Structure 1
Amino acid sequence: MKYFIGCFLWSMMCMSALVANAQSACDKLFANGVKCQQTMTISSQRNAIGYFEKAKICYDSQAKKDLCDQQIKSCRNIITQLTRTEEAKKKESQTREPEENDRNKAKNDLKPVRKNGEIKLSLDRTYIKFKGKGNEFQKVKVTCNYPDWEITKMPEWVNCSKNENNEIVIEVEKNPNDVERSAQLEVTCGDEVTTLTIIQEKFKKFILF
């Protein structure tokens, strides 16, 4: 008799452990749902709903099943709000594009009308010289009576840009040759063109003895 009682108690203990493990797995599903729910994207909310639905099936307690239903409802409300926000942004973007195009067109229409001989374009130097190692910056000042001057030609081994102070910022790459090299950079405004000669020394290799 004692043997049967012992077996019964052991079986009950095993069943309790299994139930506890099952509920722990359910709680893990629910926790994953909550984690996904905290990310405010539609895809994340849908992932959260999937976890809550699995947890609802897993739980034995009606109270916890009801809690899963509440979380699912909350996720669906968030999806609705996010969808409305995305649609509003899309409409705003579609409205903004024609306005920006109109503004750009207006800017183009306001380009200065030039007369022959009235463009004044010059540089503060006729040439600049760089060391052969590269990674060196120099600036050249541009003077022009129109703001839309541009760099129309430059060597492949030269990088340059126009800054807000009407300067050309110039950088050269390392000279791979054993001789000095040079090339010209062109600046243009309308029909007026001026040039800058860029010279780079040969790369000096240091030999350690």
Structure 2
Amino acid sequence: MAKRIISANISYGQYILSHLISVFIIIFIPTSIVTVLCKELFHLDTTVTIFQLIFIILILSLLSSAFGLLISSSVKEMQSASMLGVMINIITTLFAGSFFTVSNNNLITKIGSLLPQKHILDFTIALENNDVITYGNVASVIAITIIMIFCSFLINKYNPIRKIDIDIQTINHTYVVNNRNQKYFRFLVEILTTNKLSS
């Protein structure tokens, strides 16, 4: 499937944008529906409103889509990209303190404070506790998302190895299509010739 998409007559920007949008929709819509249904059906007592939950899911979905795009652009093999993405996600989420405090070491604490998961967590906690909300954390996550999308675009466009692979796949696809067209044309000529001789 990926080879057919890459072999199609689309630009790098169109491919990246379509991939990003499709992954975002796959993540955002089901997660939003399940979260809203759980909150309403089970009457979860939270100070965070439904619209605020959807907004948090929106930011997380954008971040996840951009991160997945960056990993898939950097790693050639799908299995390797999946393993690397899961590993980075688990490590950074632990460092950000999303589940529990990993360590009281100052270095780990500083690294965790720079991670986007930490910014989203702080924003969510501020909403839950009715604290003063600053959108600086959200803005930093959006900035990181844009940087990852931009890096993915540069990797796909200017990576010589990836460009060679795409060009080879395009040439092979064109050759197969032309070969099929030639066979189909010969088949038509034979049918027309046979019909003309028989008549």
From the two aligned structures, give the one with the greater strand fraction: 1
Q: Considering only CA atoms, is the larger Rg found in Structure 1 or Structure 2?
A: 1
Structure 2 length as normaliser, TM-score? 0.25
From the two aligned structures, give the one with the greater helix fraction: 2
Structure 1 length as normaliser, TM-score? 0.24
Higher relative contact order (CA 8 A, sep 6+): 2
